Every structure is written in structure tokens, then in C-alpha cells.
Structure 1
Amino acid sequence: MSVSLDQVDMSILGYLQANGKESYSEIARCLGVSEGTVRSRINKMLRHNVFEFIIHTNPNKIGLDVQTIIGLSTKLGMQDEIASRLQRFSEVRFVGAFSGNHDLILQAYFRNNEDLVNFVNRDLAQIDGILNADVNVELKQYKDSFSYLTSE
């Protein structure tokens, strides 16, 4: 279900994306509304899952130097079961079903290449129904953003 957001809501989201620690009173002052308005709008958006407060950790700063995108081909009828099993691995940050060359695509982080090889040959190899794994290692990152807001 989509929630109707007005310009005040979008502005609040913009301030929170720029600085998630910004106080409600400071956001209210910048927008020319009351702190109560900001608080109630944020609470409404949280209730409707418009956003969530998270900490975005830089994987390289915590020793996860190998980022991968892995495309999987799966046996017909097993996509949901395989996706469910993949979610259990701490290395896996994202799993999604896609159209195109791969049935599932996952993003995963590893300390080193050896951990990646072990994941593919030990963990993925034990999951029944995976027909093929196309492993792509990130060489250089140009953008990493969770922002979907456009500036107008």
C-alpha cells in the first residue's frame, strides 16, 4: 500500500537522509513548522514503513574487503526455497528475484577471496536446486546510495 506524502514529508526525509541524527526541533526550524508536526510526520512514515532508521556501515572499514554480486540460476519451482536459505547467511546482504539471465541475484561481502571461494564451493554447493552461480567481484565502487529522493 502506497502512502501519500506531501512536500513537508519529502523535505523531512531529505533532512534525515542528509543527517539521520538531526534533531526534530532543528528540522522543524528549517522547515518553518512545529516540532510536533515533524515528530508526528516521522512517526506516521515509520508506521507505514516509508523508511527505517539504519546504520550504513562501510564494509571496507570493518574488514569486508571483497564485495560480490552473484547471479544464480535455479531449478524450476525452487526459487523461493533457495532464496529463503540464502537469507540465513550473514555474508549475504541482499537477495532478490529478477527477470533476465539469473533467477536470483544476491549481494554478499567477504573478508577475502578465500572466504568467497569457500562460500561458493561449500555453502552454495550444498543448496539443492542451484544450477549455476555467476560470481562477479567488485573492482571499484562509483556510487553507494540508499537515497531515492530527487531534488527539484
Structure 2
Amino acid sequence: MTKKYDQIDFKIIQELSQDARKSAAKIAKNIDVNERTVRRRIEKLIEDKTVRITTIVDPNSFGYNAIADINLKVDDPVYNDFIESCKANPNVCYIATGWGKANLSIETRFIDNSDMYNFINHTLSEAEGVEVVNYFIIPKIIYNIDEWLPVQDDFKEE
């Protein structure tokens, strides 16, 4: 279900996207809205899970520069356990279901290509009920989800 937000919410989200630590008082001053309104709106955006105030760590800062997107066919009997093992693997940073021959997609990051090679060609390929459908070596991520913002048209007029 799509939630309804207005231009005040849009302005608050823009302010938070620039600095998630910005105080409600500073946001209120910048967008010319009462501070209590800003606090209430931020609480509602968080409660509705529309925004998350979180820390985003850049894997490149830790040398995780070898990136691969991997599409997999995972058999039903091992599907849930395999997902849990992916979630526990520090090299897996994204998991999504897929359609077609591949029913699971993962994004992985490694310190070097050797680790990536071993993961794709041994860890995954030797896992029971798991088939590597294809993979893409990613030399550079140009745009990522942590940079995405809704457009102004997504918000109704005040």
C-alpha cells in the first residue's frame, strides 16, 4: 500500500538526506515549519518505515572492491537455509528473489578476485541444491540505493 505524504514530508526527507543527524530545530528553521511538527513527522516517517536513520558503511573503505552480482537457482528444500547462510556470510550484502531460471540474486563483495573466484566456483557451485545461473563482475557501482530519493511529484500539495 502506498502511503500519502505531503510537501512538508518531502522537505524533511530532503533535509535528512543531506545530514541524517540534523536536529529537528534546524530542519524546522530551514523549511519554515514548527519544530514540534517536524519532530512528529520524523517519528511518523520512521514508524511507517518510510525512512530509516542508519549508518551506511562504504565497503570500499575496507578494501572490499571486488564485486559480483550472482543469479542462482536454489531448490525449494534448501532455499530458506541457503538464504540464512547468505545472510550470515559477510561477503553477501544484498539478497533478492528473482523470476525465471534464477530464483535468487545476491550481491557480493570481496577483498580480492581470488576470494570471489573461490566463492563462485567452489562455495556456491558445490552447495547442495544450488546452481550458479550467471554472474556479473562489477568494476564500478555508479549509483546505489542509499542515494535514491523520491521526486517532488510523489508528495501531494500541502
Q: Distance in 1 between matches of 2:131 and 2:141?
A: 29
Q: Percent identity?
A: 22
TM-score, normalised to structure 1's length? 0.86
Alpha-carbon RMSD across the aligned residues, in angstroms, is 2.1
Residues 26-74 of structure 1, C-alpha deviation per residue, up to 9 Å, x if partnerless? 1101211111111111111111211111222222222111111011012
Aligned length: 152
Q: Which residue of 2 aligns with 1:141?
A: 141
CA contact (8 A) 2:10 2:152 kept: no
More helix by share: 2
How far off its partner does 1:113 sit? 0.7
> Which is further off, 29-38 or 120-129?
120-129
> Residue 88 of structure 2 aligns to a residue in which SS?
coil
Higher RCO, 1 vs 2 (CA within 8 Å, ≥6 residues apart)? 2
CA contact (8 A) 1:14 1:149 kept: no
> Which is further off, 119-128 or 92-101?
119-128
Segments of 4+ moved more than 3 angstroms: 76-81
Q: Distance in 2 between matches of 1:110 and 1:126?
A: 19
Q: Aligned pair in 2 of structure 1 residues 7, 151: CA closer, same or farther (>3 Å)?
A: closer
Q: Which residue of 2 aligns with 1:53?
A: 53
| 1:120 corresponds to 2:120 | yes
Residues 80-118 of structure 1, C-alpha deviation per residue, up to 9 Å, x if partnerless? 342232111111111010113421100111100111122
> Residue 3 of structure 2 aligns to a residue in which SS?
coil
Structure 1 residue ranges without an equivalent (≥5)? none
